[in-house]
A and B are shown apart, each in its own frame.
Chain A
Amino acid sequence: AQSVTQLDSHVSVSEGTPVLLRCNYSSSYSPSLFWYVQHPNKGLQLLLKYTSAATLVKGINGFEAEFKKSETSFHLTKPSAHMSDAAEYFCVVSETQTGANNLFFGTGTRLTVIP
């Protein structure tokens, strides 16, 4: 069974400091993993995804994540937070080898950026 655990429900950082949002996954197969961002009252936007190519994945807006199979982790990082990064972030694991893919969402991490 697939599942995702986001270790922090809320993270607060100062503008210009690094961001670390933690995610651990459980998967029976070789997983595909995603990070989505949701700004207030908006839909979800893909930040980045891992699909068994490079273990370090670069996404939009300076975010990146590293797939670590030995630790079953897929943490999201950014070197320097910007005010516009304040949002809810979801770590997601995908299953199903062909056809429609079922996504399993973590419970989300709300990022606050302090000016």
Chain B
Amino acid sequence: NAGVTQTPKFQVLKTGQSMTLQCAQDMNHNSMYWYRQDPGMGLRLIYYSASEGTTDKGEVPNGYNVSRLNKREFSLRLESAAPSQTSVYFCASNRGLGQIDTQYFGPGTRLTVL
């Protein structure tokens, strides 16, 4: 039982390049989330998927797209990377039982955009 896994762990991009961050969970969770973490700002929600087949914007969605490929996988795509997207990205998942439900986090992807 690996929990939440993310690939890659590290990535360096040039401005304007595109890439997809991958996330998978093996806990049979319904809901999945993408966050970014910037120094001194805690984590902020980019997009989430309440259940397979649905996605919704979070607090900071601009410049990103997501795909809930199936129940296990939730990917985050940067179509044209910008230096402002340099951050650490975390994927999370939970059962989707509302506000009492614990979210489980992956190890993160550290992205640098030059």
A-B CB pair tally, cutoff 8 Å: 76
Asked if B34 CB lies within 8 Å of chain A CBs, one says no
Interface flags for A70-102 (1: CB within 8 Å of B; 0: not) read: 000000000000000000001000111111111
With A43-B107, A43-B108, A44-B90 known as contacts, the answer to whether A96 contacts B40 (CB < 8 A) is: no
Cβ of B98 to closest chain A Cβ, rounded Å: 5
The reply to whether B43 and A90 contact each other, CB–CB distance below 8 Å, is yes
Residue pair B98, A97 in contact (C-beta under 8 Å): yes
Q: Would you give the 0/1 interface string for A95-115, flagging 1 where the beta carbon is closer than 8 Å to chain B?
A: 111111111011110000000
Determine chain B's interface SS by DSSP, over half rule: loop
Interface string of B71-114 (1 = CB under 8 A from A): 00000000000000000001000101111111111111000000
Instruction: Determine whether B27 belongs to the interface, using a CB cutoff of 8 Å to chain A.
Output: no
With A43-B90, A43-B106 as given contacts, are A99 and B40 in contact (CB-CB < 8 Å)?
Answer: no
Given A100-B48, A101-B94, decide whether A107 and B106 contact each other with a Cβ distance below 8 A: no
Q: How large is the interface on B (under 10, 10 to 19, 20 to 34, 35 or more residues)?
A: 20 to 34
* Contact yes or no, B105 A44, CB < 8 A: yes
Decide yes or no: A101 and B103 within 8 Å by CB, A43-B90, A44-B90, A96-B98 being known contacts: yes
Q: Does B45 contact A (CB under 8 A)?
A: yes
| Contact B100 A106, beta carbon cutoff 8 Å | no
A7 interface residue (CB < 8 Å to B): no
Residues of B46-73 contacting chain A, CB below 8 A: 48-51, 56, 58
- Shortest A69–chain B CB gap in Å is 16
Task: Return 29 A-B CB contacts under 8 Å, by A number.
Answer: A9-B40, A31-B99, A32-B100, A34-B102, A36-B105, A42-B107, A42-B108, A43-B106, A49-B100, A51-B99, A51-B100, A90-B42, A94-B100, A94-B101, A96-B99, A97-B98, A97-B99, A99-B31, A99-B50, A100-B30, A100-B33, A100-B96, A101-B94, A101-B98, A102-B45, A102-B48, A103-B33, A106-B42, A108-B40
